[in-house]
Amino acid sequence: MNSTVKGIGVEVPKEVITVTETLKNKGFEAYIVGGCVRDLLIGRTPKDWDVTTNATPEEIITAFPKTFYENTFGTVGVVDENTTDESLKVIEVTPYRLETGYSDFRRPDEVKFSKHLKDDLERRDFTINALAADVANGKIANILDFHNGQKDLKDKTLRAVGDANERFHEDALRSLRAVRIATELGFMINKETEEAIVTHVTLLKHISWERIRDEFSRILMSDYPANGIFLAQRLGIIKEIVPELEAGIGVEQNQAHAFDVWTHLLKSLQHAADKKWPLDIRLAALFHDISKPETRRFSHETQQWTFYGHEVVGSRVTQKILDRLKYPRKTIDKVVKLVRWHMFFSDTESISLSAVRRMIANVGTENIWDLMNVRICDRIGTGRPKENPYRLRKYQSMIEEALHDPVSVAMLKIDGKKIMEVTKITPGPKIGQVLNALLEDVLENPSHNTAEYLENTAKKLIELSDEELKKRGEAGKELREAEEEKNLEEIRKKYHVS
Ligand code: ATP
Ligand code: MG
């Protein structure tokens, strides 16, 4: 596979030129380097800009009006307060570096600066990331390529700089970077490089989960995440970071499914990417059936596999995985909910409006459309054709209708203050219990959402014993669980008939 790679003459943003020119005017060398050069040459927009120079950190700091010292590797952030382009607000300027030992498999033991660009390019991970470019008159004037990076760019090949085994032994994160960059760019990893990744993959255990998560998310956010996860599995990376996913490999399902659980999850994820849906939907698509392997039972009666409760177990497993990967609380809560309730719309024949209202109360108004999207990924991922447009519209109109009804405490025509006013109770947990009990009432019967009805009912509710009141507030939970039981029941029936 060969592709055109640009070269001398490619334009560079003026904000970057200002940085290199400033350094050059002071008598230093300055080159743009790494991922930004790579991206410019293949016509992608760089995510961030790096400059490398023979100036020391102190010399860089004095050359610019506004800088900050980023880390212990000599990198200075040069700040441009006037630009509107996010990627140009901070340009990272790093002195030529030489790297020495890596006794912890992730960070060099000490950082030594060098006088030579060549040394700096040698410490970089992949040949296509080891390109530097000299900039003049607003354009790339010269490309410095000591490792045949331009050829690898043409051949769409990711290859380690120097001895592949040494490079992955030094820094295990590079294995995940390799998969991420190959996935984003649609490149192949060269054979020796792949073999070195496989050899050193267990060293990933020395890498922080935050850094692993960032690369993992970027794989998911690429255009072809299914290829990326597939590749990561083949190289042994998935086993190190999300072993739970591997359990689905080769786990067969019923006729409705053309694929094993693993392939189904990858295809669901890919559909989320095809639709350009956000990270939380992609995570939910990838994990929604994660516990099918452990809940799979063979029914001799029907000669079919069953997966009862896989969404309940799966939501817990998903929580565990996302906690481990240190995703933000908000992301975790949402993805866990989407996994937990993904079976709802699979019971296609008989969904009542009150069931839809309860579903919305469970998953949250802010998540209901995303749940629909996860369902769409799930369906496409089974290899079945697109949803019958009539049925999809029917669901959508039911959701819209249900959304007009009150589905959360906040939508009740009464609030805590009013409850205290009409019942004369003092602040405390009781108020929340009354609100919950009122919501349960209104979910069942939306016409009860009037100030008058709710105030009267609140007065009656506080007459109940604490225990009884609590039970009323939790009635919904029980009902919801019963609803879910009913769901399972119907799914069971369906398997019996099919
Ligand atoms: P992107 O900016 O799209 O994330 P990138 O390749 O530019 O991709 P950065 O994290 O911005 O990644 O790093 C900039 C450059 O620094 C890389 O192109 C590479 O030359 C070098 N680099 C980054 N991480 C490593 C590493 N772990 N080992 C060796 N070199 C690295
Ligand atoms: Mg970069």
**Domain with 284 in it: what CATH number?**
1.10.3210
* Residue at a domain's end among 241, 272, 290: 241
Strand ranges inside 248-345, DSSP E:
297-299, 304-306
Q: What is the CA radius of gyration of the chain?
A: 29
How many angstroms separate the first and last alpha carbons of the chain?
Answer: 46
- Ligand 1 atom 16: residue of nearest CA: 34
Ligand nearest to the CA of 181: 1
Q: For residues 40 and 6, is the Cβ–Cβ distance under 8 A?
A: yes
CA angle 444, 374, 351 (to 5 degrees): 30
Query: Are residues 265 and 387 located together in one domain of the fold?
Result: yes
Ligand nearest to the CA of 158: 1
Whole-number Å distance, alpha carbon 48 to ligand 2 midpoint, is 5
pLDDT at res. 279 = 98
pTM metric for this prediction: 0.89
pLDDT at res. 489 = 58
Is 6 within the bounds of a domain?
no
Ligand 1 pocket, CB under 6 A: 34-35, 47-48, 50, 124-125, 129-130, 171, 173-174, 177
Predicted confidence (pLDDT) per residue in 382-391, tens digit:
887 777 777 7
* Residue at a domain's end among 352, 370, 403: 403
Whole-number Å distance, alpha carbon 52 to ligand 1 midpoint, is 13
pLDDT at res. 496 = 46
Query: Are residues 149 and 181 located together in one domain of the fold?
Result: no
Is 4 within the bounds of a domain?
no
Strands 297-299 vs 304-306: parallel, antiparallel or unpaired? antiparallel
Is 134 within the bounds of a domain?
yes
Nearest one of 188, 122, 189, 139 to 37, comparing CA atoms: 139
pLDDT at res. 475 = 60
Is 3 within the bounds of a domain?
no
Query: Are residues 344 and 317 located together in one domain of the fold?
Result: yes
Predicted confidence (pLDDT) per residue in 470-491, tens digit:
888 776 555 555 555 555 555 5
Q: Which domain holds residue 380?
A: 251-403
Indicate if the pLDDT at residue 349 is higher than 50.
yes
pLDDT at res. 485 = 57
Counting residues of the chain whose pLDDT is more than 70, the rounded percentage is: 93
Whole-number Å distance, alpha carbon 210 to ligand 1 midpoint, is 16
Please name the residue that has the structure tokens 């998969």: 179
Whole-number Å distance, alpha carbon 61 to ligand 1 midpoint, is 22
Predicted confidence band of residue 456 (pLDDT cuts 50, 70, 90): very high
Least confident of 2-6, 69-73, 148-152, 352-356: 69-73
Indicate if the pLDDT at residue 274 is higher than 90.
yes
Q: How far apart are CA 169 and CA 337, in angstroms?
A: 39
Counting residues of the chain whose pLDDT is more than 90, the rounded percentage is: 73
CA angle 138, 46, 95 (to 5 degrees): 75
Domains in the chain, number = 4
Q: Which atom of ligand 1 is nearest to the CA of 35?
A: 7
Q: Kindly state the average pLDDT of the residues 318-345.
A: 95
Query: Are residues 359 and 258 located together in one domain of the fold?
Result: yes
**Taking all residues of the chain, what is their mean pLDDT, rounded to a whole number?**
91
- Ligand 1 atom 21: residue of nearest CA: 124
Ligand 1: residue of 37, 52, 129 to mutate (most ligand atoms within 8 A of CB) is 129
Whole-number Å distance, alpha carbon 62 to ligand 1 midpoint, is 26
Whole-number Å distance, alpha carbon 129 to ligand 1 midpoint, is 7
Q: Which atom of ligand 1 is nearest to the CA of 174?
A: 27
Query: Are residues 326 and 297 located together in one domain of the fold?
Result: yes
- Ligand 1 atom 25: residue of nearest CA: 125
Ligand nearest to the CA of 168: 1
- Ligand 1 atom 10: residue of nearest CA: 35
Indicate if the pLDDT at residue 316 is higher than 90.
yes
| H runs (alpha helix) in 34-148 | 35-41, 57-63, 117-122
Indicate if the pLDDT at residue 225 is higher than 60.
yes
Bin 49: left if φ > 0, else alpha if -120 < ψ < 50, else beta: beta
Indicate if the pLDDT at residue 418 is higher than 90.
yes
Query: Are residues 214 and 312 located together in one domain of the fold?
Result: no
pLDDT at res. 203 = 97
**Could you please report the per-residue DSSP string of 288-313?**
TTTTHHHH-EEETTTTEEE-TTHHHH
* Residue at a domain's end among 210, 241, 272: 241
